[in-house]
Structure 1
């Protein structure tokens, strides 16, 4: 009690005798507090205005887009889409014929070799004949010159143009993409390719296309530099299948899917083998585990009292 009274008295004495020790807010501190409050208010207003302006710009930008004119491709029931389904190899062969007779004039397939056709769509003799039907630039020879020779199984499909500049010059400035991984590089895969090849139509009212462009609602933007290439009976299949536009689009889409994923069938075959052997391996593992650990788990320790 005495100590408490002493501390209270000292505090009152100091407060009475030394007024400047009292912690009272000064004008300077009040000014700083007002400035901080004002700054927060200004920043808040600027944030609200900036967010509103950004939202308005985004809304205006979306309102002028003709997104309703772009169609999303349909998912078609491809026979190779099943968990353990393989490619239709007859369709791959027909798709190769479509690529060779229609697409190869503009689009390269530089990551696929003629030997890759063996056992998939052609026999070794047929693949060799296909390779020898093209001329491959090779060299230099002993005189230092490049020369042309018939293709071999180890050769890759030749590029229709010597370089990208020549390709652009022949296609009004547009560069035809390589088809090696086209289905893996496009959203929708073979569904997109099929929809694109069969989706050419007249532009809707209000859409103006410059010269050299064609309208396809499945192509981003709608304006595509590639003209419609597939028409009914534009070629003949070697197996006698009617060469309708949709049939050719389906076959070349299957061929391009195979070109993008040539290990497709082997991967699914390996997965099927793994699933078939896993139950046996699990049973053997369980038996070994029980055989090895049953003695340890059933072991009992007994301590005998000392004889002393």
Structure 2
């Protein structure tokens, strides 16, 4: 199945970006699952997503477990917790070593990334995870964080709070929620920034309106938290949660490098009656969300500067699909 793209249109007046629009051509994957046998759905979901496959798989299995609870406690397995955490580490390293350096006028660090990828693939149990986590913590202690140029002070937007699956039950339903979700009636941003709002460096950058730099600092903070958590698996388990909505209906929320992932499943016997998937991209690229709000009034003397500014903001919000940027005259 085609993954679709985010089409971002910038309106430029020759001196600054004055407006922006978002159109998504991402397919409604969850709708294709209706009517399928549950066993088939569990086979399909990891294959449908190029990114966050472990998180998608865990969310599917946990939501199903919650829909037909066979155990008193609905909880992720240690293997699921470890897989989701290692996947998030790999996503963060990919961005920090390959994608962010060119926007910070540095060369991508391909060989270093491949080394970390090899180490990640070598982790097969909790003991290996603890060794990997200690090595990653040591690397972070020696690493010089990337410094990215920020635009004008961005207007503050709502950050999505960390909610339990039970808290999400009343939120993650209703027409249109899956395509363009809102929290308390407003678009909200999810991801490392929302998770680490209490970090002093992140908070200081936000106070100055430097939201791109704050997101980058939050990514380092998230990576450090994950590295430390690999030695404390119980700590990482907070990233995966599920709750029974009603008989035959379950919901799971799983944290990813990009933010909160939601799955909600309704069963009709052993087949899917309804399936809802809400990925972080739907939050961060909402038509009135973080990208549209922040890119407006960004100075840009040329079209190329407008595209560069948009690319920097896009990467800080970390979509899970390709992006196309178009510049129109005001």
Between structure 1 and structure 2, the one with the greater Rg is 1
Q: Indicate the TM-score class for this superposition, using the shorter chain for normalisation.
A: under 0.3
TM-score of the superposition, structure 1-length normalised? Answer: 0.21
TM-score of the superposition, structure 2-length normalised? Answer: 0.20
- Quick check: which one's strand share is greater? 2
Query: Relative contact order: is structure 1 or structure 2 higher (C-alpha 8 Å, sep ≥ 6)?
Result: 2
